[in-house]
Amino acid sequence: MNISFSTEPIAAGESRILRVEGAEPIAVQIKCFVNKPPPRSYRPCPECGTFNLRSDEPRMIRASDEAFRRGGGTLVVAINDGTGETVEIKLEVVNWGKPGIGGAKGPPRTQKPGGGDRTEPDREFVKHVEEAKMKMMR
């Protein structure tokens, strides 16, 4: 089985393309695990569940903003092909809207040299995110 899918951390609400080459039928299961316990009224998000793919068929996988908005977690993508081979991919889900995990306005920020309250985006982090986006688009 040949899988094309980025394993870099994913932001809540972000989507990525999954492509699997393998023996059909190919079953894909999506499971969300949140860091903070969900409220009693919580129901599985629409992204969770199982679906079938044809070999080399692209499918968009999304980290539910609704499920992960309270503090991130883990998105598990389990793939099983017609030969019985199974691969499980675990993605860390980050939530930029959660204070302490990037703030409401994007990636982590660092203090500018010279002090004061002026900040700028953490360049290394922004570079990492941009590289991950470029990998997704290939």
Q: What pLDDT sits at residue 89?
A: 96
pLDDT at 67: 83
pLDDT tens across 82-102, in order?
999 999 999 999 876 544 443
Q: Tell me, what's the pLDDT at 40?
A: 72
Is there a domain that residue 48 lies in?
A: yes
Range of the domain at 71: 2-105
pTM of the prediction? 0.67
Note the pLDDT of residue 96. Answer: 63
What CATH number is attached to the domain comprising 45?
2.60.40
Our count of domains for the chain comes to: 1
The answer to whether 93 and 12 are in contact (CB under 8 A) is yes
Low-confidence ranges of the chain (pLDDT < 70): 38-39, 42, 96-130, 132-138
